[in-house]
Amino acid sequence: MIDALAQLTVNGIALGAAYALAALGFVLVINAVGAVNFAHGDFVMAGGFLAVAISGYLPADLELPGLVVLPLTMLVAAGLGLLLSLIAYFPLRGRPPVSVFISTIAVAIILQHGTNAIFGPAPRAAPPVFGDGQVDLGIASVSMQQVAVIVVAAVLIGAVALVLSRTRFGRRLRAAAQDPEMAEAIGIDVPLMIAVTFALAISLAGATGALLANQFFVSPDDGGNYMLKAYIAVVIGGWGRIHGAVLGALLIGMFEVVVAAAASYVVAEALLYGALLAVLVLRPQGLFGEAEGRRA
C-alpha cells in the first residue's frame, strides 16, 4: 500500500512538473500582454511533434538523442513564439483583449490541423532525454524520463525565475509587462520585450511537449487538454502569479493521480472542476493572490 502510494506520488510530481512548465509559459504571456494565449496547449503539442521530427534527422546510433532534441526543440519553438507574436498579437495590439483570444484560437486550430496534415493522425513518441530504464528507489520506481521531466522542469523554472528577478534583462521584461507606458518612457523597447516573452513562453511549451511526448506520446488533438490544465493552474494559483501557476500545476498533477487512484478518473475530474469552481467563488484571486491588473 505504501509502495503504491509512493509510486503514485512520484507519478503525480512528474506529471505536475510538466504541467508547471506549461503553466509557466502560459502565465508569462498573460503578464506581458494582458491576454490569454489560447494556442499555448497546441504549442505544447507542436513541441512534441517537433521533437519527433528533429529526432528523425539525428544519426540512429546517437546515444541519448533526447539531450540533443530538447534544446533544438526549444530553439525552434522560440522561433514559433516570435512568429506567433508577429501574426496573432502585434497586428491586434491596442485592441480589446478578446481580439487576441480569437486570434490565438485561430492559431491553435491551424496548428492542430497543420500537424495532422504533416504528421498524420497517429500518436507518436519522442526519444527519452536521459534514456530508457528505471531508477529503483526502494519503495517506488522512477523511469528515467520521469527523472528527466522533474529535473528539466526544475532547471527551466529556476532559470526563468532567476532571469526575471536577478538580471537587468529580466527587470526590463517585468517592467514592460507591468507598466508598458512607463517602461517605454524610460527607454525600454516594449515590443521587443513582448516578442522575447512570446519566444520564451513558447520555448517552454516546446520543452513540455518534447518531455511529455516520450512518456505519454503525442497526438495532433492533445493541445486542448494541456491548455485547460495550464488555465486551471493559473486560476488556482492566482491570475498572473508565476509561482502561483507553477504550484497550481503541481497541485493539479498530484490531485489527478492520487484521487484517480483512490476513487476513479471520473471522480478526480469532477472534483478538480469542483475545486476550480470553489476557488472562483470563495477565493477568486487564487490561492496565492492575483497579480494586480493582470485579468483581462
The residues of the shown chain that bind other proteins, judged by CB under 8 A, are 4, 7-8, 11, 15, 109, 112-113, 116, 120-125, 134, 141, 143, 212, 215-217, 219-221, 225, 256-258, 260-261, 264-266, 268-269
DSSP assignment of the chain? -HHHHHHHHHHHHHHHHHHHHHHHHHHHHHHHHSS--TTHHHHHHHHHHHHHHHHHHS-TT-SSHHHHHHHHHHHHHHHHHHHHIIIIIGGGTTS-HHHHHHHHHHHHHHHHHHHHHHH-SS-B-PPPSS-S-EEE-SS-EEEHHHHHHHHHHHHHHHHHHHHHHHSHHHHHHHHHHH-HHHHHHTT--HHHHHHHHHHHHHHHHHHHHHHHHHHS-B-TT-HHHHHHHHHHHHHHH-TT-HHHHHHHHHHHHHHHHHHHHHS-HHHHHHHHHHHHHHHHHH-TT-TT-PPTT---
Shortest spacing between CB 106 and other proteins, in angstroms? 11
Shortest spacing between CB 187 and other proteins, in angstroms? 45
CA atoms in the 13 A half-sphere facing the CB of 37? 36
For other proteins, the closer CB: 184 or 221:
221
Shortest spacing between CB 259 and other proteins, in angstroms? 8
For other proteins, the closer CB: 136 or 292:
136
For other proteins, the closer CB: 220 or 244:
220
Shortest spacing between CB 207 and other proteins, in angstroms? 17
Shortest spacing between CB 124 and other proteins, in angstroms? 8
For other proteins, the closer CB: 71 or 120:
120
For other proteins, the closer CB: 31 or 215:
215
Shortest spacing between CB 71 and other proteins, in angstroms? 24
For other proteins, the closer CB: 263 or 280:
263
Q: Residue 218: phi, psi to the nearest 5?
A: -145, 135
For other proteins, the closer CB: 256 or 290:
256
For other proteins, the closer CB: 86 or 270:
270
In contact, 16 and 232? CB cutoff 8 Å: no
| Residues in CB range of 157: below 8 A, 6 or more apart | 20, 21, 24, 246
Shortest spacing between CB 244 and other proteins, in angstroms? 23
Give the closest residue to 259 by CA, choosing from 246, 277, 272: 272
- How far apart CA 201 and CA 88 sit, in angstroms, is 15
Shortest spacing between CB 257 and other proteins, in angstroms? 6
